[in-house]
Protein backbone atom coordinates (compact mmCIF):
# COMPACT_ATOMS: atom_id res chain seq x y z
CA UNK A 1 0.00 0.00 0.00
CA UNK A 2 1.56 3.29 -1.05
CA UNK A 3 0.94 6.22 1.24
CA UNK A 4 -0.48 9.41 -0.21
CA UNK A 5 1.99 11.37 1.91
CA UNK A 6 5.18 12.07 0.02
CA UNK A 7 8.51 11.95 1.81
CA UNK A 8 11.38 13.83 0.23
CA UNK A 9 14.97 14.22 1.31
CA UNK A 10 15.98 17.74 2.25
CA UNK A 11 19.50 18.95 2.86
CA UNK A 12 22.62 16.88 3.13
CA UNK A 13 23.40 13.70 4.95
CA UNK A 14 26.72 13.17 6.63
CA UNK A 15 27.66 11.80 10.02
CA UNK A 16 27.53 13.22 13.50
CA UNK A 17 30.26 13.13 16.12
CA UNK A 18 29.28 9.56 16.95
CA UNK A 19 29.82 8.38 13.38
CA UNK A 20 26.10 7.91 12.84
CA UNK A 21 24.34 8.84 9.66
CA UNK A 22 22.03 11.82 9.76
CA UNK A 23 18.87 12.11 7.72
CA UNK A 24 16.60 15.07 7.29
CA UNK A 25 13.10 14.34 6.06
CA UNK A 26 10.13 16.38 4.95
CA UNK A 27 6.67 14.91 4.82
CA UNK A 28 4.76 16.92 2.25
CA UNK A 29 1.01 17.13 2.52
CA UNK A 30 -0.17 19.26 -0.35
CA UNK A 31 -0.09 22.91 0.66
CA UNK A 32 -0.09 22.09 4.37
CA UNK A 33 3.46 21.95 5.67
CA UNK A 34 4.46 22.07 9.28
CA UNK A 35 8.11 21.33 10.00
CA UNK A 36 9.39 19.94 13.26
CA UNK A 37 12.50 18.11 14.43
CA UNK A 38 12.65 14.66 16.02
CA UNK A 39 15.69 13.12 17.65
CA UNK A 40 15.59 9.50 16.56
CA UNK A 41 18.24 8.01 18.80
CA UNK A 42 21.26 10.01 17.67
CA UNK A 43 19.87 10.71 14.22
CA UNK A 44 18.00 13.94 13.67
CA UNK A 45 14.86 13.71 11.55
CA UNK A 46 12.98 16.79 10.45
CA UNK A 47 9.44 15.89 9.48
CA UNK A 48 6.36 17.77 8.55
CA UNK A 49 3.30 16.92 10.59
CA UNK A 50 0.61 14.61 9.35
CA UNK A 51 -1.58 16.04 6.65
CA UNK A 52 -4.97 17.51 7.48
CA UNK A 53 -7.04 14.65 8.93
CA UNK A 54 -9.05 12.65 6.42
CA UNK A 55 -12.76 11.90 6.47
CA UNK A 56 -13.60 15.00 8.50
CA UNK A 57 -12.03 13.62 11.65
CA UNK A 58 -11.50 15.81 14.71
CA UNK A 59 -10.40 14.90 18.21
CA UNK A 60 -13.92 15.43 19.53
CA UNK A 61 -15.36 13.09 16.89
CA UNK A 62 -12.73 10.43 17.57
CA UNK A 63 -13.44 10.49 21.33
CA UNK A 64 -17.18 10.31 20.74
CA UNK A 65 -16.77 7.30 18.46
CA UNK A 66 -14.50 5.62 20.99
CA UNK A 67 -17.04 6.11 23.74
CA UNK A 68 -19.64 4.32 21.65
CA UNK A 69 -17.46 1.21 21.43
CA UNK A 70 -15.82 1.43 24.84
CA UNK A 71 -16.79 -2.13 25.65
CA UNK A 72 -15.17 -3.71 22.61
CA UNK A 73 -11.39 -4.07 22.20
CA UNK A 74 -9.89 -4.92 18.84
CA UNK A 75 -7.14 -7.26 20.02
CA UNK A 76 -7.96 -10.67 21.46
CA UNK A 77 -4.91 -10.95 23.74
CA UNK A 78 -4.44 -7.41 25.01
CA UNK A 79 -1.40 -7.55 27.35
CA UNK A 80 -2.72 -4.77 29.58
CA UNK A 81 -5.90 -4.20 31.53
CA UNK A 82 -7.67 -0.92 30.89
CA UNK A 83 -10.54 1.00 32.41
CA UNK A 84 -13.09 0.77 29.64
CA UNK A 85 -14.33 4.14 28.48
CA UNK A 86 -11.26 6.02 29.70
CA UNK A 87 -8.65 7.64 27.48
CA UNK A 88 -5.95 8.20 30.12
CA UNK A 89 -4.49 4.71 29.76
CA UNK A 90 -0.99 3.55 28.79
CA UNK A 91 -2.04 2.04 25.49
CA UNK A 92 -5.21 0.78 23.88
CA UNK A 93 -6.50 -0.24 20.44
CA UNK A 94 -10.13 -0.06 19.35
CA UNK A 95 -12.12 -0.41 16.18
CA UNK A 96 -14.46 2.43 15.23
CA UNK A 97 -16.49 3.36 12.17
CA UNK A 98 -17.28 6.77 10.70
CA UNK A 99 -19.67 7.29 7.79
CA UNK A 100 -19.40 3.60 6.97
CA UNK A 101 -15.59 3.68 6.90
CA UNK A 102 -13.95 1.14 9.25
CA UNK A 103 -11.05 2.57 11.23
CA UNK A 104 -8.71 1.70 14.07
CA UNK A 105 -7.64 4.05 16.87
CA UNK A 106 -4.45 3.53 18.85
CA UNK A 107 -4.44 5.81 21.85
CA UNK A 108 -2.96 6.36 25.27
CA UNK A 109 -0.17 8.08 27.16
CA UNK A 110 2.40 5.62 25.77
CA UNK A 111 1.32 6.11 22.16
CA UNK A 112 3.63 8.42 20.19
CA UNK A 113 3.08 10.36 16.95
CA UNK A 114 6.33 8.76 15.81
CA UNK A 115 4.41 5.51 15.33
CA UNK A 116 2.34 7.17 12.63
CA UNK A 117 5.40 8.76 11.05
CA UNK A 118 7.22 5.42 10.91
CA UNK A 119 4.15 3.93 9.21
CA UNK A 120 4.29 6.73 6.64
CA UNK A 121 8.03 6.23 6.18
CA UNK A 122 7.59 2.51 5.50
CA UNK A 123 4.70 3.16 3.10
CA UNK A 124 6.71 5.74 1.19
CA UNK A 125 9.92 3.74 0.78
CA UNK A 126 8.72 0.13 0.48
CA UNK A 127 5.77 -1.86 -0.80
CA UNK A 128 5.12 -3.33 2.65
CA UNK A 129 1.34 -3.18 3.20
CA UNK A 130 0.64 -0.83 6.10
CA UNK A 131 -2.51 1.06 7.14
CA UNK A 132 -3.16 4.51 5.76
CA UNK A 133 -2.95 7.13 8.50
CA UNK A 134 -6.18 9.14 8.73
CA UNK A 135 -5.18 11.52 11.50
CA UNK A 136 -3.08 12.08 14.62
CA UNK A 137 -4.43 14.02 17.62
CA UNK A 138 -3.18 14.77 21.11
CA UNK A 139 -4.39 16.33 24.33
CA UNK A 140 -3.03 16.73 27.87
CA UNK A 141 -4.00 14.16 30.46
CA UNK A 142 -6.39 15.28 33.19
CA UNK A 143 -4.63 13.14 35.80
CA UNK A 144 -0.93 13.32 35.00
CA UNK A 145 1.59 15.48 33.16
CA UNK A 146 1.51 13.04 30.24
CA UNK A 147 0.04 13.62 26.78
CA UNK A 148 -2.62 11.35 25.33
CA UNK A 149 -2.04 10.64 21.64
CA UNK A 150 -4.67 9.25 19.25
CA UNK A 151 -3.60 7.67 15.94
CA UNK A 152 -6.52 6.97 13.60
CA UNK A 153 -5.72 4.62 10.76
CA UNK A 154 -7.23 2.41 8.10
CA UNK A 155 -8.66 -0.88 9.34
CA UNK A 156 -6.87 -3.52 7.31
CA UNK A 157 -9.05 -6.22 5.74
CA UNK A 158 -8.92 -9.74 7.08
CA UNK A 159 -8.00 -11.33 10.39
CA UNK A 160 -4.75 -11.46 12.29
CA UNK A 161 -2.55 -14.45 11.56
CA UNK A 162 -3.29 -16.06 14.91
CA UNK A 163 -7.00 -16.21 14.09
CA UNK A 164 -6.57 -16.93 10.38
CA UNK A 165 -4.13 -19.84 10.54
CA UNK A 166 -6.63 -22.70 11.09
CA UNK A 167 -8.54 -21.54 7.98
CA UNK A 168 -5.47 -21.54 5.69
CA UNK A 169 -4.56 -24.55 3.60
CA UNK A 170 -0.97 -25.71 3.08
CA UNK A 171 -0.46 -23.58 -0.05
CA UNK A 172 -1.80 -20.44 1.63
CA UNK A 173 0.40 -20.96 4.69
CA UNK A 174 3.46 -21.26 2.48
CA UNK A 175 2.41 -18.14 0.56
CA UNK A 176 2.02 -16.14 3.78
CA UNK A 177 5.42 -17.30 5.02
CA UNK A 178 7.10 -16.30 1.75
CA UNK A 179 5.36 -12.92 1.79
CA UNK A 180 6.59 -12.30 5.33
CA UNK A 181 10.14 -13.06 4.19
CA UNK A 182 9.72 -10.49 1.42
CA UNK A 183 8.39 -7.92 3.90
CA UNK A 184 11.37 -8.40 6.21
CA UNK A 185 13.75 -8.11 3.24
CA UNK A 186 12.13 -4.86 2.14
CA UNK A 187 12.36 -3.39 5.60
CA UNK A 188 16.04 -4.29 5.64
CA UNK A 189 16.59 -1.76 2.83
CA UNK A 190 16.05 0.93 5.50
CA UNK A 191 18.78 -0.50 7.73
CA UNK A 192 21.43 1.95 6.57
CA UNK A 193 19.51 4.91 8.01
CA UNK A 194 21.35 4.19 11.23
CA UNK A 195 24.69 2.67 12.15
CA UNK A 196 23.83 1.02 15.45
CA UNK A 197 21.01 -0.78 17.24
CA UNK A 198 18.23 1.12 18.93
CA UNK A 199 14.55 2.00 18.92
CA UNK A 200 13.24 4.95 16.95
CA UNK A 201 13.93 7.23 19.90
CA UNK A 202 15.50 6.97 23.34
CA UNK A 203 16.55 3.84 25.24
CA UNK A 204 15.13 0.37 24.82
CA UNK A 205 11.76 0.29 26.58
CA UNK A 206 9.74 -2.24 24.59
CA UNK A 207 7.98 -5.24 26.06
CA UNK A 208 11.07 -7.43 25.70
CA UNK A 209 13.17 -5.08 27.85
CA UNK A 210 10.57 -3.53 30.17
CA UNK A 211 10.13 -6.42 32.66
CA UNK A 212 13.89 -6.64 33.24
CA UNK A 213 14.29 -2.85 33.35
CA UNK A 214 11.70 -2.55 36.12
CA UNK A 215 13.33 -5.26 38.20
CA UNK A 216 16.99 -4.43 37.78
CA UNK A 217 17.27 -0.84 36.62
CA UNK A 218 16.94 1.05 33.34
CA UNK A 219 18.55 0.27 30.03
CA UNK A 220 20.31 3.55 29.27
CA UNK A 221 20.61 5.60 26.09
CA UNK A 222 23.90 3.94 25.13
CA UNK A 223 23.19 0.40 26.33
CA UNK A 224 22.67 -2.59 24.02
CA UNK A 225 23.63 -0.72 20.84
CA UNK A 226 25.41 -3.56 19.03
CA UNK A 227 24.62 -7.26 18.83
CA UNK A 228 27.13 -8.32 21.48
CA UNK A 229 26.08 -5.72 24.09
CA UNK A 230 22.44 -6.41 23.21
CA UNK A 231 22.88 -10.09 24.10
CA UNK A 232 25.03 -9.30 27.14
CA UNK A 233 22.19 -7.20 28.53
CA UNK A 234 20.05 -10.33 28.86
CA UNK A 235 22.95 -12.52 29.94
CA UNK A 236 23.58 -10.02 32.75
CA UNK A 237 20.11 -10.59 34.16
CA UNK A 238 20.44 -14.35 33.95
CA UNK A 239 23.72 -14.12 35.87
CA UNK A 240 22.14 -11.99 38.58
CA UNK A 241 19.78 -14.75 39.77
CA UNK A 242 21.06 -17.80 41.66
CA UNK A 243 18.74 -20.14 39.77
CA UNK A 244 20.19 -19.21 36.37
CA UNK A 245 23.66 -17.79 37.06
CA UNK A 246 25.36 -21.11 36.30
CA UNK A 247 23.66 -21.27 32.87
CA UNK A 248 24.47 -17.71 31.79
CA UNK A 249 27.90 -18.23 30.30
CA UNK A 250 29.63 -16.09 27.68
CA UNK A 251 29.54 -19.23 25.56
CA UNK A 252 26.00 -18.17 24.67
CA UNK A 253 27.57 -15.49 22.48
CA UNK A 254 29.29 -18.14 20.37
CA UNK A 255 25.91 -19.12 18.94
CA UNK A 256 25.45 -15.76 17.25
CA UNK A 257 27.24 -13.95 14.43
CA UNK A 258 28.27 -10.82 16.32
CA UNK A 259 29.70 -9.20 13.19
CA UNK A 260 26.52 -9.48 11.15
CA UNK A 261 24.92 -6.09 10.28
CA UNK A 262 21.81 -4.94 12.10
CA UNK A 263 18.42 -4.65 10.40
CA UNK A 264 15.58 -2.17 10.39
CA UNK A 265 12.66 -4.12 11.82
CA UNK A 266 9.01 -3.81 12.74
CA UNK A 267 10.28 -4.90 16.14
CA UNK A 268 7.17 -6.80 17.22
CA UNK A 269 6.25 -9.02 14.28
CA UNK A 270 4.05 -11.31 16.30
CA UNK A 271 0.93 -13.06 15.08
CA UNK A 272 -1.57 -10.38 16.10
CA UNK A 273 0.31 -7.69 14.16
CA UNK A 274 0.14 -9.59 10.85
CA UNK A 275 -3.15 -9.31 8.97
CA UNK A 276 -4.19 -11.95 6.44
CA UNK A 277 -6.96 -11.76 3.83
CA UNK A 278 -7.80 -14.24 1.06
CA UNK A 279 -4.64 -16.23 1.70
CA UNK A 280 -2.23 -13.28 1.54
CA UNK A 281 -0.66 -10.83 3.96
CA UNK A 282 -2.95 -7.81 3.80
CA UNK A 283 -1.11 -5.61 6.27
CA UNK A 284 1.41 -5.21 9.06
CA UNK A 285 0.13 -3.06 11.91
CA UNK A 286 1.33 -1.45 15.16
CA UNK A 287 4.77 0.03 14.45
CA UNK A 288 5.39 1.20 18.03
CA UNK A 289 8.45 -1.03 18.48
CA UNK A 290 10.09 -0.30 15.11
CA UNK A 291 13.82 0.26 15.15
CA UNK A 292 17.20 -1.25 14.42
CA UNK A 293 17.66 -4.74 15.83
CA UNK A 294 20.04 -7.72 15.60
CA UNK A 295 19.76 -9.70 12.39
CA UNK A 296 17.79 -12.55 14.02
CA UNK A 297 15.18 -10.39 15.78
CA UNK A 298 12.17 -10.88 13.47
CA UNK A 299 12.67 -14.64 13.52
CA UNK A 300 12.90 -14.58 17.33
CA UNK A 301 9.72 -12.52 17.81
CA UNK A 302 7.67 -14.74 15.51
CA UNK A 303 9.06 -17.92 17.08
CA UNK A 304 8.28 -16.64 20.58
CA UNK A 305 4.77 -15.70 19.48
CA UNK A 306 4.18 -19.05 17.80
CA UNK A 307 5.44 -21.10 20.76
CA UNK A 308 2.41 -19.86 22.70
CA UNK A 309 0.23 -21.64 20.13
CA UNK A 310 1.51 -25.14 20.85
CA UNK A 311 -1.75 -26.96 19.93
CA UNK A 312 -1.25 -25.74 16.35
CA UNK A 313 2.50 -26.43 16.24
CA UNK A 314 2.16 -28.87 13.33
CA UNK A 315 0.74 -26.03 11.24
CA UNK A 316 3.27 -23.44 12.39
CA UNK A 317 6.49 -25.39 12.05
CA UNK A 318 6.70 -25.46 8.21
CA UNK A 319 5.85 -21.73 8.09
CA UNK A 320 8.52 -20.92 10.66
CA UNK A 321 11.16 -22.82 8.73
CA UNK A 322 10.28 -20.90 5.57
CA UNK A 323 10.21 -17.54 7.31
CA UNK A 324 13.10 -17.94 9.75
CA UNK A 325 15.63 -19.76 7.57
CA UNK A 326 18.58 -19.44 8.07
CA UNK A 327 18.16 -17.77 11.49
CA UNK A 328 16.04 -20.40 13.25
CA UNK A 329 18.91 -21.52 15.57
CA UNK A 330 19.58 -17.96 16.78
CA UNK A 331 15.84 -17.32 17.15
CA UNK A 332 15.47 -20.30 19.49
CA UNK A 333 18.67 -19.45 21.36
CA UNK A 334 17.33 -15.95 22.04
CA UNK A 335 13.98 -17.41 23.05
CA UNK A 336 15.71 -19.78 25.49
CA UNK A 337 17.75 -16.92 26.96
CA UNK A 338 14.65 -14.82 27.58
CA UNK A 339 12.74 -17.77 28.99
CA UNK A 340 15.61 -18.50 31.35
CA UNK A 341 15.28 -15.00 32.82
CA UNK A 342 11.48 -14.97 32.88
CA UNK A 343 11.37 -18.32 34.69
CA UNK A 344 13.87 -17.11 37.29
CA UNK A 345 12.16 -13.83 38.02
Read off the pLDDT of residues 180-219 as tens digits, 9 standing for 90 and up: 999 999 999 999 999 999 998 888 877 777 666 556 666 7
Q: What is the pLDDT of residue 217?
A: 60
CB contact set of 160 (below 8 Å; sequence gap of 6+): 76, 271, 272, 273, 274, 275, 276
Task: Give 112 or 339, the one with higher predicted confidence.
Answer: 112
**DSSP string for residues in 243-308:** TTGGG--GGGGGGS-TTSPPEEE-S---GGGEEEETTEEEEE---TT-EEE-TTHHHHHHHHHHHT
What are the E-state strand segments in the chain? Answer: 6-9, 25-28, 35-40, 43-48, 92-98, 101-108, 133-140, 147-154, 159-160, 198-199, 263-265, 274-277, 280-284, 291-293
Q: Could you say which DSSP state residue 142 is in?
A: S
Cα atoms in the 13 Å half-sphere on the side-chain side of 344? 23
Percent of the chain topping pLDDT 90: 53
More confident residue, 306 or 129: 129
- pLDDT reported for residue 44: 32
pLDDT of 51:
65
pLDDT value of residue 54: 93
Q: Could you tell me the pLDDT band of residue 304, with boundaries at 50, 70 and 90?
A: confident
Q: How many CB atoms lie within 10 A of CB 321?
A: 11
Q: What percent of the chain has pLDDT over 70?
A: 76
Question: What pLDDT is recorded for position 293?
Answer: 96
The predicted model scores a pTM of 0.80
pLDDT value for 213:
58
User: How many residues belong to the chain?
Assistant: 345
- How does DSSP classify residue 216? H
Q: Return the pLDDT at 8.
A: 32
Q: How far is CA 169 from CA 152, 161, 172, 177, 190, in A?
A: 33, 13, 5, 12, 33
φ/ψ region of 173 (left if φ > 0, alpha if ψ in -120 to 50, else beta) reads: alpha
Residue 65 has pLDDT above 60, yes or no: yes
pLDDT(43) > 80: no
Mean pLDDT lowest for which of 9-23, 85-99, 100-114, 247-261?
A: 9-23
Query: Dihedral of CA 19/16/261/207: which sign?
Result: positive
Q: Supply the pLDDT for residue 325.
A: 87
Domains of the chain: residue spans and CATH:
6-48 (no CATH), 59-156 (3.30.200), 160-344 (3.90.1200)
How far, in Å, CA of 72 to CA of 131, rounded? Answer: 21
Predicted confidence band at 50 (pLDDT cuts at 50, 70, 90)?
low
**pLDDT for res 39:** 35
Lowest mean pLDDT among 26-30, 71-75, 237-241, 293-297: 26-30
Please, what is the average pLDDT of the chain? 79
Average pLDDT over residues 73-100: 64
Highest mean pLDDT among 9-18, 130-139, 239-248, 314-323: 130-139
Question: Who has greater pLDDT, 11 or 267?
Answer: 267
The answer, yes or no, to whether residue 240 has pLDDT greater than 60, is yes
Closest to 268 (Cα-Cα) out of 160, 164, 196, 170: 160
pLDDT tens-digit map of 150-167: 999 999 999 999 999 999
Q: What are phi and psi of 257, to 5 degrees?
A: -90, 95
CB 238 within 8 Å of CB 247: yes
The SS3 call for residue 153 is strand
Amino acid sequence: MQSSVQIEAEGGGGEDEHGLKQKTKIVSAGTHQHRRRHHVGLIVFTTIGMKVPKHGLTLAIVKELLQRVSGTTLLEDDPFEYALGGFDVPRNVRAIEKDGIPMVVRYGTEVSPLEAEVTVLVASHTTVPVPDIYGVFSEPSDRTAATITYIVEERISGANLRAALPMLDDAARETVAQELRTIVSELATLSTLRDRLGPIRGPWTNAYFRPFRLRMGPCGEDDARDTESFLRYFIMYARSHPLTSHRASDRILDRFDLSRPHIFSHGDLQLTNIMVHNGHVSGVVDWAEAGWYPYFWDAFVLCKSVRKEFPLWSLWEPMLRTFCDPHMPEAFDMWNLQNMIEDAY
